[in-house]
Structure 1
Amino acid sequence: MALPDRLQRVKQWARQIKRDVVALWFAVRDRRTPLSAKVVAGAVAAYALSPVDLIPDFIPILGYLDDLILVPLGILLAVRLVPPALMEEFRERATTLEGRLSSRSGLVAILSIWSVAAVVAAWLVWRFIAAGP
């Protein structure tokens, strides 16, 4: 298989992932979607659409692992939980949507996690310093 063919397949896969994230966002807001699917889809869509990652992209290798592994696995699980007919409807709606959505709730969740981690780290450092030699 030639490199341009592989590149085309990767681009197609990326477009499908992006479409499915938006479709899952629609699934979360639809009353016909089962609760379990809403919970998983909401978490995946909020994270995928958040402008902030749990592991920042500037961290070598690890920064992209969440985007390359966690998001696709979460999407796969959420898509399986949504009834197929509904998922097809949501995919059609997502295909017609232009532009990129963003998730404020995802941003708040990720910033909250980082804030808690910073407070815990500061507390541990203070405790270590206070203990002294």
Structure 2
Amino acid sequence: MWWQSVIGVVAGLALVWTGLVGCLYYLGRKQDNPTRFSDVLRLLPDVLVLVRRLASDRTLPRGVRVRLAILMGYLVFPIDLVPDFIPVIGYADDAIVLALALRSVARIAGNEALERHWPGTPAGLLTVKRLANIPNSISR
């Protein structure tokens, strides 16, 4: 049935989201100025808005939109590197691909584009920049 596929996709996205929140919370606690857990919970919706805004920004290089399209295609496509029915590691490949794609997009787009399109808090933007190894200057 088609609804089983929808439930599978939603469950997969929920697991990837949970893994990312856990990683971001852990990284935030390791920093000198730890990120509050509420900021970490808010980070994923902000990242999704950032991805949508970056994908629709025609002033950015075409490679940004191509990478985002490939990322969405990979996440939607039912065949993965590691099958999703394998507990825990089944969704790990999705989380890794997501993190690598966001890191690549963030590095290409640069500071100015990230700051212009970021909808969340400065602390959330700082966390995204740290994950992408981008200098931490925030001009907000």
Q: TM-score, normalised by structure 1?
A: 0.49
Larger-gyration structure (1/2): 1
Q: TM-score, normalised by structure 2?
A: 0.47
